[in-house]
Amino acid sequence: MCEIGGIASDETLAARANGGCRDCFSRLYERYRMTLARYLHESFVYDFDTALDLEAEAWKRAWQHLGSYAGERPFKSWLLAITRNLALNHVRHARRAPRPESLIQVFEPRAETDPIERRESIEECVRLVRALPEDLREPFVLRAVFDLEVREVAQVLGIGVATARGRLFRARKALTEAVREARP
């Protein structure tokens, strides 16, 4: 049994896993289990079964290619980048890319109350985000849910920091406008 404590950083665990420690890899798995599937579900594929399959594949790839991870960036963003590549492949090959509908089509306003204050508004927030164009949705999800810094978001997406910052702003602007248009 691996003697390393449960408070070890992701990067330490990854380094040890790279040395062959399966327990350390298991700890990493425990930390991010289901997180990848949820990321895929929110960002790419709305079919959760597919997201789970892709998550399993991502863990396999991560194990296979731990040797290429040199700790130059957070393990979380490295793992998300692998997951994202798999998802893009999947979308490309299966031609099942979700077609973003317009925000107004997806968001059905209910006139009696404010959409942001309604009881079911949490679910509507999710719907609003899913209706964002893909290039705005991805950085928003990575930033809002996974707490990646803008620099890390840019790394995962393979874009510049300024571009990532701009997309985040456009995503927020689009979401705010959708809420405003839905208000009575």
Partner 1 sequence: MNCLRAQSEVSRVRDAARAIPPAVDRHLAACEECASFRDTTEALERRYRRQVRSGIDRLRRLDAPSFRPRRSLGRKLLVPVAAAVLVCGWGWLKAKPEGAAAPIAFAVSSKGTSPRSLLFDGAGLVENPPELSFLDIGEPRLPIRLEQELHRIGGSDPEIVLPRNLTFRN
HEC secondary structure over the chain: CCCCCCCCCHHHHHHHHHCCCHHHHHHHHHHHCCHHHHHHHHHCCCCHHHHHHHHHHHHHHHHHCHHHCCCCCCHHHHHHHHHHHHHHHHHHHHCCCCCCCCHHHHCCCCCCCCCCCCCCHHHHHHHHHHCCCHHHHHHHHHHHCCCCCHHHHHHHHCCCHHHHHHHHHHHHHHHHHHHHHHCC
- 157 versus 168: smaller Cβ distance to partner 1: 168
Closest separation in Å from C-beta 172 to partner 1: 5
Binding mask 7-46 for partner 1 (x = CB under 8 A): -----------xxx-xx-xxx-xx--xxx-xx---x----
- Contact between 163 and partner 1 by CB under 8 A: the answer reads no
Which parts of this chain interact with partner 1 (CB under 8 A)?
1-2, 18-20, 22-23, 25-27, 29-30, 33-35, 37-38, 42, 56, 59-61, 63-68, 70, 82, 85-86, 88-89, 116, 121-123, 125-126, 128-129, 141, 143-145, 149-150, 165, 168-169, 172-173, 175-176, 179-180
